[in-house]
Chains A and B, each alone.
Chain A
Amino acid sequence: MSPKTRLRHRMQVVLHMVMAFVVAILLAQLWLFTVTLEAMESHDASSSIVAAALVCSLLGCTAVWALIRFFLGTEARQAD
């Protein structure tokens, strides 16, 4: 196996890991959304929980876009 092919295989592994991260973040965002919905319905739920869920979801969204940019950038470099 040539060094170029080996590098390409390693990059494939990295790309798969990035996709796994993105999917994990999306699942976490879905969970945060359900937590916020539950808090919206319940009068007893504290607003701090909602604020924390909102901040975490925002961070998750930023991370997803950053990972996607990394993914597409790496893929473009790989194609060159």
Chain B
Amino acid sequence: MANTAKRSTRWKQDFPIPSGEDSYATRREFTKFLGLTSVAFLAGTCIAAARKLWKRATASSSDAVSVAALDEVPAGGSKLFRYPTEDDACILLRLAPDKFVAFNQNCTHLNCPVHFESANSQLVCPCHHGYFSAEDGRALAGPPRRSLDALTVSVRDGQVWVQHIAEKETA
């Protein structure tokens, strides 16, 4: 036992390893870390801003499209369509004979597709039981906190047309 301890101290004397300083960071290193953290936040903000502006540019460049004939969707009914690209699922609702609304079909919680419950006039996300108003898409209950993205709907020549809502210049 004593021999083992003696041997271990012997090699430590021969090859000293300052393990106590392994986790030591100088002030300079620490401030460098803080500065790089700041740059990382700035880079993240830049990327998010670029994506927002890209989405806005895409939305403003997309024209109105006809998604259904007027008599294709009965009152209290719904129809799924894709807008502005094939990857963007949307849902058209006919709440009354002369009232149409359309929303992006992806739940604002975790992107599950919502479906229409005409009895309650609500859009329901089956994944985590999120509820949205069918009137304006606002979140009513469940995990989602943000409203569904609404589309502008108009009726012309017996067809239902949808388009992205122009951005409000509020700020």
Contacts and interface: CB of A to CB of B under 8 A. Distances in A.
Contacts of A11: none
Interface string A23-61: 101100110110011111111111111111110011011
Given A49-B171, A75-B27, A36 B52 contact: yes
Contact of A29 (B27, B41, B55, B146): B41
A64 B45 contact: no
B35 A33 contact: no
B169 interface: yes
B65 interface: no
A38 to B, nearest CB: 8
B154 interface: no
Nearest to B28: A72
Contact of A44 (B32, B55, B147): B147
A65 B33 CA distance: 11
Contacts, number: 97
Given A46-B170, A71-B31, A32 B55 contact: no
B107 to A, nearest CB: 12
Contacts of A60: 38, 41-42
Interface of B: 27-28, 31-32, 34-35, 37-39, 41-42, 44-46, 48-49, 51-53, 55-56, 59, 104, 108, 146-147, 149-150, 164-165, 167-171
Given A36-B48, A50-B52, 16 more contacts: A22-B31, A23-B34, A25-B38, A26-B34, A32-B41, A33-B41, A33-B44, A39-B48, A43-B150, A45-B52, A54-B45, A57-B41, A58-B42, A60-B41, A61-B38, A65-B38
